[in-house]
Amino acid sequence: MAALTDFAFMYRWFKNCNLVKNLSEKYVFITGCDSGFGNLLAKQLVDRGMKVLAACLTEEGAQKLLQDTSHQLQTFLLDVTKSENVKEAAQWVRDQVGEQGLWALVNNAGVGLPSGPNEWLTTKEFVKVININLVGLIDVTLNMLPMIKKARGRVVNMSSSGGLVAVIGGGYCVSKFGVEAFSDSLRRELHFFGVKVSIIEPGNYKTSILGQEALETRMKKLWDRLPRETRDSYGEEYFQTYTRKLVNLMWTAEPRISDVTNSMEHAIVSRSPRIRYNPGLDVKFLYLPLAKLPTPVTDFILSRYLPRPADSV
C-alpha cells in the first residue's frame, strides 16, 4: 500500500513538473483582468515571461494592470456580452499572435450577483448573469478556436463549486452548470486537434469588491420590490436570516486567491494539464461529496442551511 501511495505521489509530481517548452514565445488571452483571479493570473504569467493579452472591462482596470506589469503584457477593452466587441477582440488577438496561433484562452470573466431565492429575482436578472458567465464565455471561445487549434493549445474555463451543486438561487449556478457542460463537450471535440480543455472549480474565495453594506442594501431592494403576498409567504425573519448568511458566506471566503491562479497557471504551462482543478478545502470536503451523494441526501443537508419560510408546511 505504501509503495502504491509513493508511486501515485511521484506520478503526480512528474506531471506537475513536466512543463511546456518555449513558454516565453507563447501568447495567452485572459478575460476579466480588471481584478481578482484574472488580474493576478496575468501578473503571474508575465513573471514567467509569457506574452499576455489581457482583456479588461474598464479603462481604469487596463491602465492599472499595465502600470503593474511589463511590456510583455498588452490590454484590450472587452465586454463579453457584446458580440461585435468579441469579434474585434478576436481580430486584435489574431494580429498579435500571427501564424503561431494562440497558446491558451482563459475564460475568467464572470459575476455572481444578483443572487438570492429564485422567486425574488426577475428573468432579466437571470439573463444578465448567464450572458456574462456562459454566453459570453461561449462567444469568446468560438471566436478564438481557430487560433487555438493552430497552436494546438488549450482552453481554461472558470467554473465554480456552484457548477457542482446549486447552493444558491439566481443565474450564477445555472451559468456554471452550463460552463461544465460546454467544457465537457468541447474537450471531447478538440481532443482530435491536440487541444486540451481544463475546468477550474474553485470554492468560496474572496474576489468581490462589493462591501458588506452594499450587499445588504441590494438584498433589501430585492425584498422591498416583492409583492406583499410573496413577502408574507417567506416572512421577515426568513429575509433577515438569508441576508445574514449570504453576507457571512462572502465575508468568510478564503482570501488567498493564489490557490486558484496557481491552478489556472498549471493548466496553461503543464504538458499534462488536468481536466478539473478543485482549489479550496470546501470544494474537496463539502461540495464534491455533496455532488456525488444521492440527491435526497444532498437536498436534506442543504435544506438544513436554509431558513424556514413563514408559510412552510
Residues with catalytic roles: 172
C-alpha to C-alpha distance for 195 and 197, rounded to whole angstroms: 7
For residue 279, whether the previous peptide bond is cis, meaning omega lies within 30 degrees of 0, is: no
Nearest partner of 201 among 158, 154, 265, judged by Cα: 158
Contacts of 130 (CB under 8 A, 6+ apart): 171, 174, 175, 178
Looking at residue 289, its amino acid is P
Cα(50)–Cα(37) distance, integer angstroms:
17
Query: Within 13 Å, how many C-alpha atoms sit on residue 75's CB side?
Result: 24
Using a 10 angstrom Cβ sphere, with 0-12 exposed, 13-18 middle and 19 or more buried, the burial of residue 18 is: exposed
End-to-end CA separation in angstroms for the chain: 52
Buried b vs exposed e over 229-248: b needs ≥16 C-beta within 10 Å?
Answer: eebeebbeebbeebbeebee
Residue with cell 509569457: 50
Amino acid 7 reads F
Q: Dihedral, CA atoms, 249, 210, 139, 93, nearest 10 degrees?
A: -120
Nearest-angstrom CA–CA distance, 33 and 62: 8
